[in-house]
Amino acid sequence: MTKKSAHVVPSTKGGWSVRTSGAARAAKVFDTQEEAIKYARTLAKNAGSELYIHSRDGSIRDKDTYSNDPFPPRDRNSANH
């Protein structure tokens, strides 16, 4: 079973919604994006999934992963460059 990612998206009624992938309705609606991100981050961490933060225009402005990534990014300061 795939883990459901959390998305912070603009709400149609103003404010910001937190939705899980595949859900027809928002899990919760917030007045500010900051509040929505805090709630969605908790959901994603607990589920070991991904968090997508969208801009007002709907484009993805940030993404965080809270699972065991089989290919984690390398440290830029690594001596293996």
Tens digits of residue pLDDT in 13-72: 899 999 999 898 999 999 999 999 999 999 999 999 999 999 999 999 999 998 876 676
Distances (CA, A) of 66 to 17, 29, 43, 56, 71: 20, 22, 10, 24, 13
pLDDT grade for 1, boundaries at 50, 70 and 90: very low
Point out which residues pair with 54 in neighbouring strands: 60
Q: What's phi and psi for 51, nearest 5 deg?
A: -120, 125
Distance from C-alpha of 59 to C-alpha of 9, rounded to nearest angstrom? 9
The whole model's pTM is what?
0.79
CB 51 within 8 A of CB 63: yes
